[in-house]
C-alpha cells in the first residue's frame, strides 16, 4: 500500500492520509471543499463543490490518475434537497461523459465543528 499526498489539496488533521493506492486501486479519504492552504470552506455551495473537485483532481494527479479513473463516489451532503442540484451541475461538467457509480446521503454530523461544510466525498478510482 502506498500513501498519496499532495500540498495542492487539504490534509487531514489526524492520522488520516489524503489517499492510499494498492493494486491499482486509489481510495481517497473523506474529502471536503476546503482551500488547500487556508483550509476555509467557501460560503457559496457552487464554489465549495468546485473546490472539492479541484482537491480531488489534485489528489488523483498525485496518484498518476484522473477523473476518468474514478469508479465510485460516496457523497454526504448536509442538506441533500437544497444542495444536490448545484452539486450535480458541477459533477456533470467535471466528469463530462464519464459516469462513475455513486451514492448520496444526508447527514449533519460530519466535518469539524464550525466549518459547516456542505459536502464530503469518498472516492474509489482504478488505474492499471
Average pLDDT over residues 31-60: 95
Mutual angle of helices 45-62 and 80-95, in 10-degree steps: 50
Res 112: pLDDT? 75
Whether the predicted pLDDT of 87 surpasses 80: yes
User: Would you state the pLDDT for residue 54?
Assistant: 98
DSSP tag of 40? P
Does pLDDT of 113 surpass 80? no
pLDDT(38) > 90: no
Q: Rounded to whole angstroms, how far apart are CA atoms 27 and 34? A: 19
Q: How many whole angstroms separate alpha carbon 49 and alpha carbon 88?
A: 9
58: helix, coil or strand? helix
Rounded-to-integer distance, Cα 35 and Cα 53, Å: 11
Confidence label for 5 from pLDDT (cuts 50, 70 and 90): very high
> Using 50, 70 and 90 to split pLDDT, how confident is the model at 13?
confident
Query: Per-residue pLDDT for 114 more than 80?
Result: no
- Report residue 108's pLDDT band, with 50, 70 and 90 as the boundaries: confident
Mean pLDDT rounded to a whole number for the chain? 95
Amino acid at each position: 500500500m502506498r500513501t498519496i499526498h499532495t500540498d495542492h489539496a487539504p490534509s487531514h488533521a489526524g492520522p488520516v492520509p489524503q489517499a492510499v493506492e494498492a493494486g491499482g486501486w486509489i481510495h481517497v479519504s473523506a474529502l471536503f471543499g476546503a482551500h488547500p492552504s487556508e483550509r476555509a470552506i467557501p460560503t457559496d455551495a457552487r464554489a465549495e463543490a468546485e473546490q472539492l473537485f479541484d482537491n480531488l483532481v489534485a489528489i488523483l494527479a498525485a496518484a498518476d490518475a484522473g477523473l476518468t479513473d474514478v469508479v465510485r463516489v460516496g457523497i454526504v451532503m448536509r442538506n441533500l434537497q437544497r444542495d444536490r442540484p448545484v452539486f450535480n451541475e458541477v459533477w456533470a461538467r467535471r466528469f463530462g461523459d464519464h459516469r462513475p457509480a455513486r451514492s448520496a446521503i444526508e447527514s449533519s454530523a460530519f466535518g469539524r465543528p464550525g466549518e459547516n461544510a456542505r459536502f464530503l466525498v469518498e472516492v474509489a478510482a482504478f488505474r492499471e
